Amino acid sequence: MGFGSVSFVVVVLLFLLIPLMIVPIVIAKRRKLPHKNVIALVSILGTVLFGFGWLIALIWSLVQSAHTDTAS
């Protein structure tokens, strides 16, 4: 396994991880969640740090309901 094959593996992993990394961010922004910036940060850092934060961000973006102002 030469140096060229290692860089190929890294490029393939990046092409797989980047789209997955932004899934919670897109969900949070489309749902207009109040903590969308924090979800984005947790998603990005979580992807880099073994995926645990990414999973938390994904669940958070799916579970939390959008803030609605009911006051008149």
| pLDDT tens digits, 1-46 | 555 677 888 888 888 878 888 999 999 999 999 999 999 999 988 8
Residue 8 lies in a domain: no
* Domain total of the chain: 1
**pLDDT value for 26:** 94
State which residues form the domain around 42.
18-72
Question: Does 35 fall in a domain?
Answer: yes
pLDDT in the model for residue 41: 92
Contact yes or no for 57/39 (Cβ under 8 A):
yes
For residue 26, tell me if it sits in a domain. yes
Asked whether residue 70 is domain-assigned, the answer is: yes
In a domain, 5, yes or no: no
**pTM for the whole thing?**
0.70
